[in-house]
Chain A
Amino acid sequence: MRSIIDILDLSTQEIDSLIKTACDIIDNPDKYAEKCKRKKLATLFFEPSTRTRLSFEAAMYELGGNVIGFSAANNSSAAKGESVSDTVKTVSCYADIIAMRHPKEGAPMVASMAASVPIINAGDGGHNHPTQTLADLLTIYREKGGFDNLTVGLCGDLKFGRTVHSLINALSRYSGIKFILISPEELKLPEYVVNNVLKKKNIPYVETTDLIGAMPELDILYMTRVQRERFFNEQDYIRLKDSYILTPDKLETAKDDLAVMHPLPRVNEISVAVDNDKRACYFKQVLNGKYMRMALILMLLGVE
C-alpha cells in the first residue's frame, strides 16, 4: 500500500509510466471506462477547492468508479474535533483510495501513517500539491515532447508558490534543464530551494526581475500570482504588479512554440486576451490534471 504525499515520492521512471498511461487514456478512453468498477474514491476536502476536487471526482467517474466524501471541514467530524488519523481510519473502511486536501501542512502525511488505503495529497496548505505538478509535467510533455534541454521561466511569486517549488524539484531530475527565475526581489525563490536543488545539482539558473527581457529565451513560461499581501508596503506592490501581468504585447518577442502555463486560479496575472493565443496552455493543464489523476489512481490501486 502506497501513498503519494510529495512529487518526489515518485521516481522519474514512475512519472514516465504515469505519462504513458495518461496519454493512452487520452487516445483510448473506452479502454479505461470500467477499470475501477466497484472501487470507491473518498475525496476528503477540509478546505474548499474547485479544480482539484472536481478533477479527482471526474477522474474516478471516468474510470467507472464511485466517489464519496465531503468538500468542507464543517461538513465532517473534524468540526467536532476528530483527528485526521481517526477520520482516515474510518474512511479506510468505506473507500479504496483517499484524496485529501487540508489547510494544515503535513496532514496528508499524518493520514498516510494511519490509513489502510492509499492517500493522495490533494494539497496541504502552502506545502505540497503533487497532482498539480503531475498536471504540469503532462502538459510540458505533450507540448514539448519531453523534458530534456528546456529553458523554463518561472514568473511571479516564487517565494510562497508551492507549485513552483514542486515543479523545480520534479524538473531538476531531467538533463539540460535551465531555469529563469523572474520575480520581484521580495518574492525570490527561497534560499533553501536554490541551495538544496539548483546549486546541489549544478542546474543553471538566472534570477531576474525582467519578464520582457527573459521572454525570447523561454520554452516554458510558468506564471503565478503576485499577491498584494506578500508585500511589505503598498508602493512596492503598485510599482511591481503590472510587470508580472502577461499581456499579448509582452509575448511579441516569445518563441512560436512557447508554452504559457499557470496552475490557476488566475486573478489578473494573465490578461484574458492571452487566452486566444495558441501558446496559452493553462486550460489544457486543467484537462491534463484529470488524466494524470486517473493514471495515478490506477497505479495506486494496482489496476493494470
Chain B
Amino acid sequence: MVIDSINNGIVIDHITSGKSMLLYQKLGLDKLNCTVAIIKNAPSSKNGQKDIIKIDTLIDIDLDMLGYLDPGVSVNIIKDGTIASKFIPELPEKLVDVIKCKNPRCISQEEQELKHIFKLTDREKRIYRCIYCESKAK
C-alpha cells in the first residue's frame, strides 16, 4: 500500500499497533481540514507491526501528550520534503484534558466546564495526580 510522502507536515511513527485512532482523537486531528493519513498495522522491524499518522501540514498541536499516551512513538517534522527534526516525546509535566479524574468526590466530576489537569509527580513510576484532588491517574 502506498501513501504519498509529505512535503511539509508531521509524521508520528512507531505508534503501538491499534493505538492510532486513540492518538487521532486525543490530538484533535478530526478537527483539521488538511489531509491526514492513518496507517494501521504497517510492518515494523522492531515490533512486527506499528501504526503511523501523517499530517499534511505543519500545525501547532500538543505533541507532548504522546509521551504519556504511547511512550516510544517518534515524531518527525517534515519541511521541504526532508526531516527537519525528529524526537521521541518524553512524559510531559502536565496533561490537560487527556485523561479524566475518576475520583467521584473530585470537583472536576461535578463541574463539567473544568479542564481535567494532571501533574507528573513521579517520573520513574509514571505517576500523574489530579491537580484538584491529588488522586492518582488510573
Q: CB-CB < 8 A to A109: which residues of B? A: 107, 131-132
CB proximity to B under 8 Å, residues A116-149 = 124-127
B111: CB under 8 A from chain A?
yes
Interface residues in A70-115 (C-beta closer than 8 Å to B):
83-85, 102-107, 109-110
| Residue from A83, A103, A106, A109 with most neighbouring chain B CB atoms (10 Å) | A106
Q: How far is the CA of A103 from the CA of B114 in the complex (A)?
A: 17
Number of residues on chain A facing chain B (CB within 8 A): 16
In the complex, what residues of B have CB within 8 A of residue A105's CB? 103, 105-107, 132-135
Chain B, Cβ-Cβ closest to A104: B107
Complex CA–CA separation, A126 to B136 (angstroms): 15
How distant is B82 from chain A, measured CB to nearest CB, in Å? 43
What band does the interface of chain B fall in when counting residues whose beta carbon is under 8 Å from A?
10 to 19
Selected contact of B133 from candidates A84, A85, A106, CB within 8 Å = A106
Give the CA-CA distance A224 to B65 in the complex, in Å. Answer: 42
The answer to whether the Cβ of B130 comes within 8 Å of any Cβ in the partner chain is: yes
Nearest chain B CB to A219 CB, angstrom units: 30
Which residue in A110, A125, A126 is a CB contact (below 8 Å) of B114? A110
Q: Provide 26 A-B residue pairs closer than 8 Å at the C-beta atoms, listed in order of the A residue.
A: A83-B111, A83-B113, A84-B111, A102-B107, A104-B105, A104-B106, A104-B109, A104-B110, A105-B106, A105-B107, A105-B134, A105-B135, A106-B106, A106-B107, A106-B108, A106-B131, A106-B132, A107-B132, A109-B131, A110-B107, A110-B111, A110-B114, A126-B105, A127-B105, A127-B134, A192-B136
Apart from A102-B107, A104-B105, A106-B106, 17 more pairs, CB < 8 Å: A83-B111, A84-B107, A84-B111, A104-B109, A105-B103, A105-B105, A105-B106, A105-B107, A105-B133, A105-B134, A106-B133, A110-B114, A124-B107, A125-B105, A127-B105, A127-B134, A192-B136
Which residues of A are interface residues toward B (Cβ below 8 A)?
83-85, 102-107, 109-110, 124-127, 192
